[in-house]
Amino acid sequence: MSGITVPVVYFAHPGPENTEETLALARVRAEALGLRHVIVATTSGATGRRAGEVFRGFHVVAVTHSAGFARPNEQELREEHRAAMLAAGVDILTCQHALGGVNRAVRKKLATYQLDEIIAYTLRVLGEGTKVACEIALMAADAGRVPTGEPVVAIAGTGSGADTAVVLLPANAQTFFDLRVQEYICKPAFRS
């Protein structure tokens, strides 16, 4: 056999109840591979805050929703979580979504889908967390927060919390097709 065997955890159900196990599994795999960077999706900041605690000693980038994502002029990141993440040395990134910025406005106004949203829907066939993990990797690379061509752990979830962790090679948005998901660490099993 010329391959390697790596365990993957498939959760029975998606959702935030998997957050602690997802972070723990991701930490073990990051250490085993000698990785330095961890990217985590966070909305309120709770998952980013917890990742900052679990991944002490790593460079953690917490990627938030942009202001106005849910409601005009509102930032969903809660101030107490922001303060805790900063105190833990977490690098907080708030920017336009790589797969849903200006093109989303075109869809809403003209009722037609744009290429970035088609890519997002395509990635969702692998799970919402996989789509988000790829998207935050693009965002972090575009912001210069993680290097391209060096494996990182990307952690995301389905709705809220974390239930998906992958090892991937980030890419910039303009070189999207260079992004490579190298390994799954965990994800929900969709059996329907």
For position 57, what pLDDT does the model report?
A: 97
The predicted pLDDT at position 192 comes to 58
Provide the residue count of the chain.
192
In 3-state terms, what secondary structure has residue 73? coil
Separation of alpha carbons 40 and 157, rounded Å: 9
SS3 assignment, position 10: strand
| Alpha helices by DSSP H, the chain | 19-33, 46-54, 79-87, 102-110, 115-123, 128-142
Lookup: tokens for 113: 């889908």
pTM: 0.94
Beta partners for 187? 10
Predicted local confidence at residue 25, as pLDDT: 98
Tell me the fold of 9-185: Pyruvate Kinase; Chain: A, domain 1 (3.40.1380)
pLDDT in tens, the chain (192 residues): 689 899 999 999 999 999 999 999 999 999 999 999 999 999 999 999 999 999 999 999 999 998 878 788 888 899 999 999 999 999 999 998 998 878 888 888 888 878 888 999 999 999 999 999 999 999 999 999 999 999 999 999 998 999 999 999 999 999 999 999 999 999 999 765
